């Protein structure tokens, strides 16, 4: 199974041993961040720093100013955490170590964009905005995301890309000092709290036979038992019960169509900008109404658009099966290998075999830069065993 490790440019740049160390794990490939959201990250082996704070979502290379000239929505340059062509510098070092380099591009997840352009954000049924979640129904936002995908994915020398957050983002977010866990939302609550009611989405609902104001009232009514701690959750069946099957289906049809057409446009733009043989994968979840970094998709559709998917498998590989059943495309199992982040490097070989049995043909390891030495040693042993 071809294996790739996720890394950030700041894991590599300034550390002369980093690229060699990653190659020594036994991976053939790295997935290197080219456009990334804000984060605070450990760098446990770096000779110059131990904590990197990426203050806002940014591209980690010099922008093509001609592409973005005069546009209100445009990517942000990184600060001191990734100066200059940080991506290019890291990619060169990793290539010299014998590793294939693929880009890692985060798209519809950008808190600075939402703070500076509030109207671009998802707005829930109560009128609250989610600044980390750009609404993918808005034409200007879609154009921004498509062009960002094409530019960030096809960095010089890259042999492929992995597109993250190419779909709806919603309430769930690893936000600083998050205080949202007091009420267990469940799948139904997450969906209802992630429905957007910006002007473009209200028009979209109307095209699917829904009155947006009436829908918002229905969503708020459906959520009332949840706030009282009285709600049960059976996933989509609960959404249908709360909103009515016809209304629930119409909201999902609108959102599925919006996400699919964006995915088609972004992948097409990447292919147009990329050299022949360039691989395009999406971080994906096989349940189309799910939101987040692993975009909810229809497996048959997305594997007719992209070259494959990267599927979250930490804690279980069950999400692989709907993709594997399509019988085409790359199906990569994404396994966390940092114990402190819920991973299990000691069982990596066992987990990889389980993923292979369910149809995975590649592995992704999250995350070579964040893992302590003991976890990386366990990864090396597991990959040797595989």
Taking Cα atoms as reference points, which of 156, 169, 204 lies closest to residue 34? 156
Taking Cα atoms as reference points, which of 363, 282, 273 lies closest to residue 317? 363
pTM score, whole prediction: 0.97
3-state helix, strand and coil shares in percent for the chain, rounded to the nearest 5 = 40, 20, 40
Contact partners, residue 122, CB within 8 Å, separation at least 6: 129, 130, 133, 134, 135, 168, 169, 170, 194, 196, 198
What pLDDT is attached to residue 257? 98
What pLDDT is attached to residue 177? 58
Q: At what angle do helices 348-357 and 373-385 cross, to 10 degrees?
A: 50
What pLDDT is attached to residue 172? 86
What gap in Å lies between CA 276 and CA 157, rounded to an integer? 12
What gap in Å lies between CA 351 and CA 345, rounded to an integer? 9
């049960």: which residue's tokens? 232
Q: Is the dihedral of CA 63, 48, 162, 135 positive or negative?
A: negative
Per-residue pLDDT of the chain (386 residues; tens, 9 = 90+): 999 999 999 999 999 999 999 999 999 999 999 999 999 999 999 999 999 999 999 999 999 999 999 999 999 999 999 999 999 999 999 999 999 999 999 999 999 999 999 999 999 999 999 999 999 999 999 999 999 999 999 999 999 999 999 999 999 886 665 656 666 788 999 999 999 999 999 999 999 999 999 999 999 999 999 888 887 788 999 999 999 999 999 999 999 999 999 999 999 999 999 999 999 999 999 999 999 999 999 999 999 999 999 999 999 999 999 999 999 999 999 999 999 999 999 999 999 999 999 999 999 999 999 999 999 999 999 999 99
């Amino acid at each position: 199974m071809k294996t790739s490790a996720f890394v950030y440019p700041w894991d590599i740049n300034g550390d002369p041993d980093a690229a060699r160390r990653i190659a020594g794990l036994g991976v053939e490939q790295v997935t290197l961040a080219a456009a990334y959201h804000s984060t605070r990250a450990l760098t446990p082996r770096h000779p110059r720093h131990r904590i990197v704070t990426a203050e806002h979502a940014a591209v980690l290379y010099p922008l093509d100013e001609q592409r973005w000239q005069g546009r209100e929505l445009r990517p942000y340059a990184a600060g001191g955490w990734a100066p200059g062509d940080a991506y290019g510098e890291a990619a060169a070092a990793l290539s010299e170590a014998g590793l294939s380099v693929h880009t890692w591009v985060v798209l519809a997840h950008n808190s600075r964009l939402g703070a500076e352009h509030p109207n671009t954000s998802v707005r829930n049924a109560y009128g609250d905005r989610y600044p980390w979640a750009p609404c993918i129904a808005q034409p200007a936002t879609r154009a921004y995301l498509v062009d960002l995908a094409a530019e960030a994915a096809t960095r010089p020398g890259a042999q492929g890309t992995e597109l993250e957050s190419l779909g709806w983002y919603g309430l769930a977010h690893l936000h600083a000092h998050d205080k949202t866990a007091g009420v267990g939302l469940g799948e139904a609550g997450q969906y209802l709290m992630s429905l957007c009611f910006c002007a473009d989405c209200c028009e979209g609902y109307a095209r699917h036979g829904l009155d947006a104001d009436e829908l918002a009232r229905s969503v708020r009514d459906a959520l009332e038992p949840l706030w009282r701690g009285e709600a049960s959750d059976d996933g989509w069946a609960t959404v249908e019960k709360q909103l009515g099957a016809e209304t629930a289906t119409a909201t999902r049809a609108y959102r599925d169509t919006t996400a699919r057409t964006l995915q088609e446009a972004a992948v097409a733009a990447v292919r147009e900008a990329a050299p022949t043989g360039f691989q395009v994968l999406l971080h994906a979840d096989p349940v189309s109404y799910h939101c987040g970094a692993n975009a909810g998709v229809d497996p048959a559709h997305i594997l007719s658009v992209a070259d494959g998917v990267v599927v979250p498998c930490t804690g279980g590989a069950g999400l692989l099966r709907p993709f594997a059943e399509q019988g085409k495309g790359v199906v990569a199992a994404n396994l966390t290998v940092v114990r402190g982040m819920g991973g299990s490097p000691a069982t990596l070989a066992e987990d990889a075999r389980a993923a292979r049995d369910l149809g995975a043909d590649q592995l992704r390891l999250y995350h070579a830069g964040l893992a302590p030495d003991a976890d990386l040693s366990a990864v090396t042993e597991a990959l040797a065993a595989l």
